[in-house]
Chain A
Amino acid sequence: MLGKTANGVFWLMRYMERSENAARMIDAGLRISMTRSSAAESEWTSILTAMGLLGTYLGRHEVVEGPRVINFLLRDTENPGSVLSSVETARTNARMVRTALTREVWEAVNECWMVLRDTLARPVASQDLPEVLKIVRQRSAYVRGATHGTMVRNDIYDFARIGTFFERADNAARVLDVKYYILLPSIMHVGTATDNVQWETILRATSAVRAYQTLHEGEYDPRKIARFLILDRRLPRSLAFCYGKIADNLSYLAEDYGQRMPSHDMVQRISDRFASTSIDQIFDYGLHEFVTEFLSDSQQLGRQIEIDYRFYE
């Protein structure tokens, strides 16, 4: 398998995941601005921050307001992180690595792009938003389904999975990074409507509202929420889950190629930390510090994978 192909498959899946995450973020923002219009601006600001797009946005718009942010996140092709741009980049990567994909995966990606290009050709009216966001999530799910159902379990698949979980963990960590303060005890006003909504935003942005309620009987508690999103291996969007998967897929590569690389030790370190740390220890250590360190570790891991598997040279 070519290094370039590994790179292309990795990014194809990252961008597919990114488009879906963007849709979830918009969804979360939409909810909170509907329920608490006074906080809308700060909510959209934190969503832009979590996605690393605040600077880009402010470079082009003077005020942070719902419809503009939604348009920016959904269909602005000059915003490389918008849903449309992500899907387009995913498709370009898919074309580049066309020979590494099954026909089903390629067609799912291509159709996703064709459908969204048409759906997002014009600004989306607010009443159509839920439907459009559903299409984005659905199209992403088709790609995931085709990948799961038709791709041979070889190194190509491993890089696809690593890309998916890498992006997902990155996204979850960024949400936590922006919102960590509302989970901290010092400003906790347990049970107030404000906090419930805030916490729900976090869960919604990571697509974990229902799962949380099922597993925790609807009881919102910041420590539980943090534990859920960071350490709970049952949640497919928790950091621990994602890193479990990344570690697994990297180990398949090591087995397949008969060679361990520096990235294997790195992922093991990150993964072990989730297994050996309790949420209380994380809070004692500092949630913010923990998440910041995680993001930096994860960035290093990404660079190491690029080097180990010859993505660029």
Chain B
Amino acid sequence: MPEKPVFFDEMRGPSGDETRDPYIDYCAWISTEDVNHLRRKSAQAEALFRLTGITFNVYGMEDQTERLIPFDIVPRIITAKEWAVLEKGIEQRVRAINSFLHDIYHRQEILRAGRMPVEMIAQNKAFLPQMIGVAPPGNIYTHIVGTDLVRTGENDFYVLEDNARTPSGVSYMLENRETMLHMFPELFSRNRVRAVSHYPRSLRRSLSASLPPVCDGAPTLAVLTPGIHNSAYFEHAFLADQMGVELVEGHDLRVVNGRVAMRTTQGYQPIDVLYRRVDDDFLDPLNFNPDSMLGVPGILDVYRAGGITIANAPGTGIADDKAIYSYMPEIVEFYTGEKAILKNVPTWRCSEADALAYVLDHLDELVVKEVHGSGGYGMLVGPATSKKELAAFRRKLEAKPANYIAQPTLSLSTVPVLTRAGLAPRHVDLRPFALASPQGVEIIPGGLTRVALKKGSLVVNSSQGGGTKDTWVLED
């Protein structure tokens, strides 16, 4: 008798002994495959990734600075019906976030209406005063959004985070699919899987549609990277290559004739739309961090004068802060007049007395996060923490409650991965990618599924032993 899973398994269902509809065909296929053969295929896939150079850099390591993110060959499958809901929900959030950003850098109606406390913005480092009064083309601030979702049951999806600054991972989504098509072409003739390969074209179209006022022809695009030592360099090069545009670094760019221009073999050529993968702080040493060697002095001035579109706009970070996140249901409602389609993870803002009391009472059940923290630093996972550590954390929390939010410990769904012993369930999340332009919002069916390869682990981050899967959205 197989042990009954505690978590919702997307292949085997809540009971663990059925096969959920979207996986029926895949299960039929895999049951006829030899595990050793599949493992060899898996090794081939890895060799292919290495050859292609789909690697990420790890900082501070002398040796082997380029690492692979492990790829698991079992796809994560989503039905057309499930996707329809996710798609609508993400689009709604992306629209709301852009409206919120426009509002927060203009009249701040949401604060005036008392729907969000002023301190949320006033004390937030991600709020950039230099962006006040700046309206980018079509009022699009965040052009590329990665929405992190988790699933806990048949119909239970939650948004964990809205990445509105510079979400990464889309190259893995594309390469995972390429690899699957290459290794298992037969699977794609048996299953009708929606394509993702048009992403670079969509990205290009979407960015081109956000052309700045100064541009009156076909816009010139470029991707700005911090350089080959950045952990996501592969992705930057990949996207530039796939879009057929130049990959530039700060030192390739200068302000020339009132435009941001790149140094070509034939002199300086102006750029209309810059897809930048350099953080706000490093973007412009003249206007932000003066020590930055990665940015372009004066680019913000040209931007404010309407001479270039920067995607995503500076200052979008104000929309993907953890404390702001807790207001997303209000934000969606305030700007769209509709209830949020996708649920937020219930969040207790410890700045509020009632919430704080609840959190202190249930500390051993909750996940407590620092408002401005990231990467799991300063985080408490109640169920996995000793009494002594809980007591220590309680003191920190009581001393600075406004610094924290708390959320229930989520039972992330699982999808099987291929292990030495055959298929075994592992926890997953999902990051679909949305493109926003003055012409609308487009969401690529699927996204990047990250999987915690360690048994029982809930951490899907690639830096902590996470891997990725191809994500299938089935046709209706």
Are A99's CB and B265's CB within 8 A? Answer: no
Known contacts A106-B53, A111-B51, A114-B51: does B237 contact A95 (CB below 8 Å)? yes
A2 contacts chain B at the CB level, 8 A cutoff: yes
B125 contacts chain A at the CB level, 8 A cutoff: no
Are B247's CB and A98's CB within 8 A? Answer: yes
Known contacts A110-B51, A110-B53: does B247 contact A99 (CB below 8 Å)? yes
Are A2's CB and B51's CB within 8 A? Answer: no
A304 contacts chain B at the CB level, 8 A cutoff: no
Are A99's CB and B264's CB within 8 A? Answer: no
Known contacts A2-B252, A95-B53, A110-B53: does B247 contact A310 (CB below 8 Å)? no
Q: Which residues on the A side are within 8 Å of B241 (C-beta)?
A: 98-99
| Chain B: number of interface residues, binned into ranges | 20 to 34
Q: How far is the CA of A114 from the CA of B66 in the complex (A)?
A: 12
By beta carbon, the residue of chain A nearest B50 is A114
Q: Which residues on the A side are within 8 Å of B233 (C-beta)?
A: 95
Q: How far is the CA of A155 from the CA of B237 in the complex (A)?
A: 19
Per-position 1/0 for A91-135, Cβ under 8 A of B: 010011011000100110011001000000000000000000000
Are B51's CB and A99's CB within 8 A? Answer: no
Q: Which residues on the B side are within 8 Å of A110 (C-beta)?
A: 51-53
Chain A interface, >50% SS class: helix
A313 contacts chain B at the CB level, 8 A cutoff: yes
By beta carbon, the residue of chain B nearest A93 is B228
Q: Which residues on the B side are within 8 Å of A155 (C-beta)?
A: 265
Chain B interface, >50% SS class: mixed
Are A96's CB and B53's CB within 8 A? Answer: no
Q: Which residues on the B side are within 8 Å of A313 (C-beta)?
A: 263
Per-position 1/0 for B375-398, Cβ under 8 A of A: 000000000000000000000000
Q: Which residues on the B side are within 8 Å of A142 (C-beta)?
A: none
By beta carbon, the residue of chain A nearest B53 is A110
Q: Which residues on the B side are within 8 Å of A96 (C-beta)?
A: 228
Per-position 1/0 for A145-180, Cβ under 8 A of B: 000000000010001000000000000000000000
Known contacts A2-B252, A114-B50: does B237 contact A99 (CB below 8 Å)? yes
Q: How far is the CA of A313 from the CA of B267 in the complex (A)?
A: 9
Q: How far is the CA of A6 from the CA of B263 in the complex (A)?
A: 11
Q: Which residues on the A side are within 8 Å of B161 (C-beta)?
A: none
- Please provide the chain B residues from 249 to 292 with a CB less than 8 Å away from any CB of chain A in the complex: 249, 251-252, 262-267
Instruction: Identify which of A6, A92, A159 contacts B228 (C-beta below 8 A).
Output: A92
Q: Which residues on the A side are within 8 Å of B249 (C-beta)?
A: 4
Q: How far is the CA of A191 from the CA of B59 in the complex (A)?
A: 61
Q: Which residues on the B side are within 8 Å of A302 (C-beta)?
A: none
Instruction: Identify which of A92, A111, A309 contacts B265 (C-beta below 8 A).
Output: A309
How far in angstroms is the closest Cβ of chain A from B403?
Answer: 41
Q: How far is the CA of A3 from the CA of B246 in the complex (A)?
A: 11
A1 contacts chain B at the CB level, 8 A cutoff: yes
| Chain A: number of interface residues, binned into ranges | 20 to 34
By beta carbon, the residue of chain B nearest A96 is B228
B240 contacts chain A at the CB level, 8 A cutoff: yes
- Pick the most buried of A5, A103, A110, A159: most chain B CB atoms within 10 A of its CB: A5
Q: Which residues on the A side are within 8 Å of B252 (C-beta)?
A: 2-4
B248 contacts chain A at the CB level, 8 A cutoff: yes
How far in angstroms is the closest Cβ of chain B from A176?
Answer: 32
Q: Which residues on the A side are within 8 Å of B50 (C-beta)?
A: 114
Q: Which residues on the B side are within 8 Å of A103 (C-beta)?
A: 52
How far in angstroms is the closest Cβ of chain B from A31?
Answer: 35
Q: Which residues on the A side are within 8 Å of B267 (C-beta)?
A: 310
By beta carbon, the residue of chain B nearest A106 is B53
- Please provide the chain A residues from 183 to 205 with a CB less than 8 Å away from any CB of chain B in the complex: none
Are B263's CB and A95's CB within 8 A? Answer: no
Q: Which residues on the B side are within 8 Å of A99 (C-beta)?
A: 237, 240-241, 246-247
Q: Which residues on the B side are within 8 Å of A285 (C-beta)?
A: none
- Pick the most buried of A5, A99, A159, A310: most chain B CB atoms within 10 A of its CB: A99
Q: Which residues on the A side are within 8 Å of B263 (C-beta)?
A: 2-4, 310, 313
Are B248's CB and A107's CB within 8 A? Answer: no
By beta carbon, the residue of chain A nearest B267 is A310
How far in angstroms is the closest Cβ of chain B from A235?
Answer: 31
How far in angstroms is the closest Cβ of chain A from B253?
Answer: 10
By beta carbon, the residue of chain A nearest B268 is A310
How far in angstroms is the closest Cβ of chain A from B275?
Answer: 13
Q: How far is the CA of A96 from the CA of B267 in the complex (A)?
A: 20
Please name 6 pairs of A and B residues whose Cβ atoms are closer than 8 Å in the assembled complex, sorted by A. A1-B246, A1-B265, A2-B246, A2-B252, A110-B53, A259-B266
Across the A-B interface, the 5 shortest Cβ-Cβ residue pairs: A98-B237, A309-B265, A99-B241, A3-B263, A99-B240
B-side residues, CB < 8 A to A, are: 50-53, 228, 233, 237, 240-241, 246-249, 251-252, 262-267
A-side residues, CB < 8 A to B, are: 1-6, 92, 95-96, 98-99, 103, 106-107, 110-111, 114, 155, 159, 253, 257, 259, 309-310, 313
A2-B262, A257-B266 known; 5 new pairs, CB 8 Å cut-off, are: A1-B264, A3-B263, A111-B51, A114-B50, A310-B267
